[in-house]
Amino acid sequence: MSNEKDLENGDPKRERISFADGWDPDKDEGEYANLIRYISTYRDRRFSKAPSQASEQDAADASKSKKQPFFKRLLGTGGGQGDLYEVPEEWLDTDIKAGLTSAQVEERRRKTGFNELTTEKENMFIKFIGYFRGPILYVMELAVLLAAGLQDWIDFGVIIGILMLNAIVGWYQEKQAADVVASLKGDIAMKAIVVRDGTEQEIKAREIVPGDILLLEEGMVVAGECRLICDYENPAGFEEYKEMVNDPEAYHSKNHTDSDDDEEKHIGVSIVATDQSAITGESLAVDKYMGDICYYTTGCKRGKGYAVVTESARGSFVGKTASLVQGATDSGHFKAIMDSIGTALLILVVFFILVAWIGGFFHGINIATPMDSSNTLLSYALILLIVGVPVGLPVVTTTTLAVGAAYLAQQKAIVQKLTAIESLAGVDVLCSDKTGTLTANQLTIREPYVAEGEDVNWMMASAALASSHNLKALDPIDKITILTLKRYPKAREILQQGWKTEKYTPFDPVSKRITTICTLKGERWAFCKGAPKAVLSIAECDESTSKHYRDTAADFARRGFRSLGVASKRGDEPWKVIGMLPMFDPPREDTAHTILEAQNLGLSVKMLTGDAIAIAKETCKLLALGTKVYNSTRLISGGVSGTTQYDLVEKADGFAEVFPEHKYQVVEMLQQRGHLTAMTGDGVNDAPSLKKSDCGIAVEGATEAAQAASDIVFLAPGLSTIVDAIKVARQIFQRMKAYVQYRIALCLHLELYLVTSMCILNETIRTDLIVFLALFADLATIAVAYDNAHYEQRPVEWQLPKIWFISVVLGILLALSTWVMRGTFYMPNGGLVQNFGNVQLMLFLQVSLVENWLIFVTRGGETWPSYKLVGAILVVDAISTLFCVFGWLSGSQAEQVDFVDPVDRLTRDNYSTQTSIVTVVVIWGYSIGVTIVIAMVYFLLVKMRWIDNLGRTTRSHADTQMENILGHLSRIALEHETDVHGKSKWVLGSKSTGEEDVD
């Protein structure tokens, strides 16, 4: 058993359980002997410390299947991920005993691709080219052409190097994150049993192709859209199936009479029953007959049969639903923010270039000559383009998101698109499922009610007798009923007395009960369990007993319990009620604490459940979530509309008896009130609300369609995983925000200093040194993606006015610090210069140091910086210092003296290409002092309440007039009428409610 993979790790035939003593449920020791062994040896692996992992062979198979030739990975998507292939009808004529051959499988896979719902794989080459596209990058590419025109080959090469560095790092980091996500998705692959080459084989569900003969069995997931052929025990039915497929009308007329009211033309008896609740919302299993379609990802609840796969996953009903939801793509809020920042910086660059050119004309500077000088108008333009456009902005932010996505994947949260991290960080309302997220999704039976004169052990044994004994695919209610016998050893002894099951009738929606007929030592017994009213209706008991039974059921309902009545019948005696089982899905141990934590993070948690309102309220009480829980009908036909309806949704703690359309409506109303909303879901019919929400979350065990429609897929259960992911998302957001502030301040620093220097002194920092400043800024801060970060205690947002205000203040302070140092060189003793130095390189060093250290200011002081960030900045600082000490790219004295006006004493009388060590130490000390002053100013700014709230939007805002107008319009309907002359007309009328329609 230890080598078998559980359902969530790929084997749909296995429950997520293990058994003591290595017992195998497939081993037949007799029905009731197996049942007793199951009860005594059952262990729930959800509480085991052993990790559940894919086997090494599966990992090897996955890596082998993904391996493609390099040129295919570079230039094409491969894998059949193009247009949907229309399956020819002759492909479905496969023999159920022979199946497909290996050659046929490979040929068909080349045309249809793998049987999986995947997003279109990106072309590697086009993806890489994408890192050279965008407003900011186009400006840098213009700078490359300008450098080439000026024959400034050093700058030309370095700028190209900066562009290539950003592209390679960004592409690699995003690819690495995608690989982590892909490997996790591979670990949850389904398995299927097919007939190939004349034998039954177990394969991965993704390897199925149209025409495969698929075996459906109770407890398995339908691994491919398929048409049902015949019962597994009746292979001769294949001939009848072929007759039906070849001439359906003739076959139907032969097997039906005119009096038949069978509109669906079902043939014979049901072969299997499937659970389609995730697709259609039907809570009951649907019977499937010969020729019926079994939908992809539904669960087989009864029976065993052969079916032929008719479509690949993408062509299935689920796949088409997913593609419709995925069709609407948008650039996202994150890209809009980045574009607005980039556009604003470009406008500033153009403005500063104009100012510099005006100053240049005043100083009589030529447009492009002399060619070896930085003091030309085109050189000014080149310098300002380099310093004013943050080429690393899109790449560093993308890298930060990609690294964060890889970290979230390790926490069992698969990020489907990187911008979802930003959305998750800003979420302020979380609409959560109850079952499996807030609760353990593990029914428990509380203290049962036992009828007067009955024994509790007999009642529990009777309940177990009235249950399915198929241990490989137990219904959750049957499972907990049987396992509860662990607490009742005498009930287990009753089961060991020699019972034999004669007939088992599963639950049906008409009788609302399960019935089993058994014999014990030749005596006939009947047992049933089901809805209390249904059980009471077949029993014969006096009025006082009936009233007490009904009152007990009502009391259980008020306490939030689901009730299950139990009755027995001996021989020809009447049915007798013997008790009632109260069932409850308890909250997870950590849920109450997690909800409190979520509320401290500024999140409003709303519970949405399909359960009855009494159960919902009881769960809310246990979780301290608030008891303002309403029935979902209040949303549609409850007589509430307009602003009142919006207020109801906004203030409610939850909704009960919810259907998917209610989820969509809740999300829409919350968004219209200005809330960023996250929605959890698991079914195909949840896809619209997942897509509509700002951050759609597919919870553990969600269908593929729900996963495809969601932004983030969780592989671990519980609300705590979602709240933990929100914290991580806010940390990632904090890193991006710190970098954006830092980068804007850097652009403004050099633009302000250089333009004023050009206009006042007719001086600039050499172009060669400027490109290295840009390179060093990007090299050092790429490591910000790996920095430690704190998370805010409230939902985050960009607050662009606040970012710009603080960045402008920091930019001005940095420019002033550089001017102060430049001004000291005019002092008689040389100011900061000790012994000798080079003005260009001393300015270069000071600018490099204060700019690199600024990231330590904008990141905040709540956490210590990571060693990666500190190490990257120290390396760049060391290189900048070497430039200054050894005089690299210092330029000639003539270049300084001929253009600078007025010339400082140091340049005129003590020119040197190198700088003394003492001077370098002084500049380091000065830069540290500047950084401390800037840090103090930054601290004061962020502590000011009006600055802290600058640009923060109000999350709850009501447009009362518009909401009421929409509310009234929702009650209006177009009605078609015909007057006495036979002319038709359309008139406005009042829309009837559901209750009126029934009447």
- In this predicted structure, the answer to whether residue 741 has a pLDDT above a threshold of 90 is yes
Cα 919 from Cα 824, distance rounded (Å): 13
- In this predicted structure, the answer to whether residue 44 has a pLDDT above a threshold of 60 is no
Give the other-Cβ count within 10 Å of 235's Cβ.
13
So what's the pLDDT on residue 864? Answer: 93
Give the model's confidence band at 65: pLDDT under 50 very low, under 70 low, under 90 confident, else very high: very low
When pLDDT is averaged across residues 296-306 and rounded to a whole number, the result is: 85
When pLDDT is averaged across residues 477-485 and rounded to a whole number, the result is: 89
Tell me if 485 sits within 8 A of 491, measured CB to CB: yes
Cα 221 from Cα 212, distance rounded (Å): 16
Which are the catalytic amino acids? 433
So what's the pLDDT on residue 527? Answer: 95
Comparing 164-178, 416-430, 483-497, the range with the smallest average pLDDT is 164-178
Cα 735 from Cα 397, distance rounded (Å): 9
When pLDDT is averaged across residues 724-748 and rounded to a whole number, the result is: 92
So what's the pLDDT on residue 57? Answer: 43
Tell me what percent of the residues of the chain surpass a pLDDT of 90: 29
Q: Which residues sit opposite 524 in a β-bridge?
A: 519
3-state secondary structure 190-232: CEEEEEECCEEEEEEHHHCCCCCEEEEECCCECCCCEEEEEEC
Q: Which residue has the higher pLDDT, 2 or 340?
A: 340
**At a CB cut-off of 8 Å and minimum separation 6, what does 160 contact?**
144
So what's the pLDDT on residue 830? Answer: 77
Of 60, 636, 737, 626, the closest CA to residue 338 belongs to 737
**3-state DSSP call for residue 503?**
strand
So what's the pLDDT on residue 114? Answer: 87
For residue 819, give Cα distances in angstroms to 749, 756, 766, 805, 846.
Answer: 11, 9, 16, 21, 11
When pLDDT is averaged across residues 883-912 and rounded to a whole number, the result is: 75
Give the model's confidence band at 965: pLDDT under 50 very low, under 70 low, under 90 confident, else very high: low
So what's the pLDDT on residue 734? Answer: 93
When pLDDT is averaged across residues 835-852 and rounded to a whole number, the result is: 92
**3-state DSSP call for residue 523?**
strand
For residue 833, give Cα distances in angstroms to 137, 760, 783, 825, 892.
Answer: 38, 22, 33, 7, 19
User: According to the per-residue pLDDT averaged within each range, which of 232-241, 611-620, 957-966 is highest?
Assistant: 232-241
| Size of the chain in residues | 999
At 14-32, the pLDDT tens digits run 344 444 555 555 555 677 7
Tell me what percent of the residues of the chain surpass a pLDDT of 70: 81
E-strand ranges in 25-170 read 42-44
So what's the pLDDT on residue 784? Answer: 87
When pLDDT is averaged across residues 112-139 and rounded to a whole number, the result is: 77
Cα 906 from Cα 233, distance rounded (Å): 100
So what's the pLDDT on residue 298? Answer: 83
Q: What are phi and psi of 888, to 5 degrees?
A: -70, 135
- In this predicted structure, the answer to whether residue 79 has a pLDDT above a threshold of 60 is no
Domains along the sequence of the chain with CATH:
86-115+209-247+268-311 (2.70.150.10), 413-440+586-715 (3.40.50.1000), 444-584 (3.40.1110.10)
Give the model's confidence band at 554: pLDDT under 50 very low, under 70 low, under 90 confident, else very high: confident
**3-state DSSP call for residue 516?**
strand
Give the model's confidence band at 552: pLDDT under 50 very low, under 70 low, under 90 confident, else very high: very high
Cα 804 from Cα 341, distance rounded (Å): 9
Mean pLDDT of the residues in the chain = 81
At 324-333, the pLDDT tens digits run 665 444 445 6
First to last CA, the chain: 58
- In this predicted structure, the answer to whether residue 170 has a pLDDT above a threshold of 80 is no
So what's the pLDDT on residue 466? Answer: 92
At 921-941, the pLDDT tens digits run 999 999 999 999 999 999 999
500: left (phi over 0), alpha (psi -120 to 50) or beta: beta
Q: Which residue has the higher pLDDT, 912 or 26?
A: 912
At 966-995, the pLDDT tens digits run 665 655 666 667 766 777 767 666 555 444
- In this predicted structure, the answer to whether residue 203 has a pLDDT above a threshold of 60 is yes
